[in-house]
Amino acid sequence: MTAKPPNILLAISDQQRTDTLGFMGRTPCRTPNMDRLARDGVSFDRAICPSPLCLPSRASLFTGQYPHQIDMMSNKDTIEAEPLLTDLLRGRGYHTAYAGKWHLEPDEQPKAFRGREEALGLADVHGSPEGKKGERRINRWFDRADGQSSFDYSVWCEANGLPDGWPVSDDALRTHRVPSMSIPKVKRQAELTPDQTYDGWVTEIALRFLDERPRDRPLFLVCSWFAPHPPFKVPDPYFAMYDRADAPMPPNFRPGPDKPDSIGTSFFHRLWLDHGDDWDAWRDTVAAYWGYTSMVDALLGRLLQRLEDEAILDDTLVVFCSDHGEMLGSQGLWHKMAPYEECLRVPLLMRLPGRLPAGRRNPATVSLVDVPATILAASGCALPDRYRGVDLGPLARGETETAGEPYRHSEMQPLGDWHRIADFRLIVDRRYKYVWHDGDRSELYDLDVDRFEQTNLAGTAESEPVERRLADRLFAWMQETGDPLAGRAS
């Protein structure tokens, strides 16, 4: 007898570090609803993102392939991949709905608004409702979609007599440099309640989609928030929820020796220097980031409560993840787009009573690229041959020790000449990470003994066997997947 397909809730935060998860006990940040998912389900404690950048990582999250395989390596691309995930779910009878940040196609906004953002260098920053020739790609993927456009949110604010709450619009939280990216400065969102922020608006859309769903069909609902992505313009009570004195300086606050040259030349190292190489300048940043994350947790709690009120929570596969992390000053860097643990590792929590165990902390190496395969397997769908990700269900249940091969990969290309970094590709197993930088120094870290990546073992005689093993497997993966840089790696 075939099991009834569960409802599926995929909840996605943006730029959330794993050390914000309360149950991990690594920071004062409190996340009771994320903790609940871990307590009632499975936490994959060593999950990585396929790219430490929004759009490429989200492309893998929905296609089961790595960014270079689907030509989605920058933040300005349009997804052209077939919507196999949702097409297969629809074939199983699912109603599909998407609320919030999508970011997989260019933004189509009124010309004046769009021109202002391009002038500020913001065109690659956030969500995007329209595709080429006005075709909404998201409408090929989902039966219903709303909340993708920051402009629509700004219009909603105006219609409700509220100031524009879109944090990216606040010039005080942007660098004077070009492009005008966000900076580590923080600000209280004094005029709005949490429910009136962009993320509160998105949550209301998701709740509306839940209320209006066809009751005779299983539901696949995505709720995708902007927080805790900078700029950190945070409403009360979350802005002042944490004491800046509780933010200790990380051991790797400044770059260690033997790093690639591109760390020192990076645009985001320059923004780090602008903010201050004294940790005291970063304490407010960290405290506000924790508060922003706790706000996301509360919004997640609203979704879980509604599912519980309707008595369908235990019949719903809940998947919570983030698209990538945040350097937050570590390694002398601000923002993301680096190969280090702070922005590579992501929360990945799953809950489905009766089909997934409760309270399991799994240490295997997994990736967001595995999420669509896991969703399809839970719904009873066969996995497409082109998927590189695998179903994490057997791993979660303890039926296997790894999810296929024991390696996962991540990749990054510079966003432009201004970025001043090298392309990189990396490979991780349960203990080591190897990073190949095109034209720059390689990196190798033993994460069991060097969690803060302060000792680069690449090029040392004692680590040569490990480096060779990982490099050979990384370069083979690049060849197997048609990476355009495969011919340059050796």
Sign of the alpha-carbon dihedral angle for 120, 125, 131, 134: negative
Q: What's the pLDDT tens digit per position in 410-431? A: 999 999 999 999 999 999 999 9
Name the domain boundary from 411, 445, 460. 411
- For 313-351, letters b (16+ CB in 10 Å) and e give bebbbbbbbbbbbbbbbbbbbbbbbbbbbbbbbbbbbbb
Q: Which residue has the higher pLDDT, 111 or 42?
A: 42
Q: At what angle do helices 283-309 and 32-40 cross, to 10 degrees?
A: 60
Of 411, 432, 454, the position where a domain reaches its end is 411
Three-state DSSP class for 362?
strand
Query: What's the average model confidence in pLDDT over 171-190?
Result: 96
- Residues 299 and 436 reside in one and the same domain: no
Q: Residue 165: inside a domain, yes or no? A: yes
Helix H segments across 103-229?
A: 111-119, 138-141, 150-159, 198-211
Q: Specify which residues 258 forms β-bridges with.
A: none
- Strand 7-13 to strand 316-322: parallel, antiparallel, or no bridges (unpaired)? parallel
pTM for this structure? 0.94
Indicate whether 393 and 440 sit together in one domain.
Answer: no
Count of alpha carbons within 13 angstroms of residue 447, beta-carbon side: 17
What 3-state DSSP class applies to 367?
strand
Which residue range forms the structural domain that includes residue 273?
Answer: 7-411
Q: How far apart are CA 35 and CA 119, in angstroms?
A: 41
Q: pLDDT tens, 184-240?
A: 999 999 999 999 999 999 999 999 999 999 999 999 999 999 999 999 999 999 999
SS3 content of the chain, % helix, strand, coil (to 5): 40, 15, 45
Average pLDDT over residues 458-482: 97
Distance CA 396, CA 363 (A): 10
Q: How confident is residue 113, by pLDDT bands cut at 50, 70 and 90?
A: very low
Asked whether the predicted pLDDT for residue 391 surpasses 60, the reply is yes
400 occurs within a structural domain: yes
Are residues 405 and 281 located together in one domain of the fold? yes
Burial class (CB in 10 A: 0-12, 13-18, 19+), 25: exposed
- Output the six-digit token pair for 310: 């309707």
Residue 2 belongs to a domain? no
Residues in the chain: 490
d(CA 266, CA 450): 23
Banded model confidence at residue 256, pLDDT cuts 50, 70, 90? confident
CATH of the domain at 440: 3.30.1120.10
At residue 152 the predicted structure's pLDDT band, cuts being 50, 70 and 90, is: very high
Residue 108 pLDDT > 70, yes or no?
no
Share of the chain above pLDDT 70, in %: 94
Number of domains in the chain: 2
- Largest Cα separation within the chain, whole Å, is 66
483 and 384 co-located in one domain: no
Same domain, 447 and 402: no
% pLDDT > 90, the chain: 89
Residue 2 confidence (pLDDT): 53
DSSP-derived 3-state class of residue 27: coil
Residues 179 and 240 in one domain: yes
What is d(CA 271, CA 119) in angstroms, rounded to the nearest whole number? 19
CATH classification at residue 276: 3.40.720.10
Is the pLDDT score of 120 beyond 80?
no
Same domain? For 389 and 447 the reply is no
Q: Which amino acid, 137? A: R
The answer as to whether 163 is a domain residue is yes
Amino acid found at 486: A
Does residue 393 sit in the same domain as residue 429?
no
**Domain presence at residue 417:** no
Residue 67 belongs to some domain of the structure:
yes
Q: Which residues contact 49 (CB under 8 A, 6 or more apart)?
A: 57, 60, 322, 323, 324, 325, 343, 344, 345, 346, 367, 368, 410
C-alpha closest to that of 70 among 416, 482, 487? 482
Q: Are 403 and 452 within one domain?
A: no
Question: At 193, is the secondary structure helix, strand, or coil?
Answer: coil
Q: Does position 241 have pLDDT exceeding 70, yes or no?
A: yes
Question: Which of 411, 433, 456 marks a domain boundary?
Answer: 411
Residue 112: band (very low, low, confident or very high) from pLDDT cuts 50, 70, 90: very low
pLDDT at 77: 87
With the C-alpha atoms ordered 164, 169, 173, 176, is the resulting torsion angle positive or negative? negative
Examine the domain organization and report whether 244 and 281 are in the same domain: yes
Residue 76: per-residue pLDDT: 86
pLDDT of 490 reads 72
Q: Is residue 1 part of a domain?
A: no
Asked, for residue 438, whether it belongs to a domain, the answer is: yes
Q: Which of 36-50, 63-77, 129-143, 147-161 has the lowest mean pLDDT?
A: 129-143
CA atoms of 403 and 422, how far apart (whole Å): 30
- For the cut 60, the answer to whether the pLDDT of residue 126 exceeds it is no
Residues 98 and 30 in one domain: yes
> Nearest-CA neighbor of 33 among 21, 44, 43, 45?
21
Number of C-beta neighbours around residue 354 at 10 A: 10
Q: Check whether 260 has a pLDDT greater than 70.
A: yes
User: Are residues 331 and 367 both part of a single domain?
Assistant: yes
**Residue 251: CA count within 13 A, CB half-sphere:** 6
* Radius of gyration from C-alpha coordinates of the chain: 21
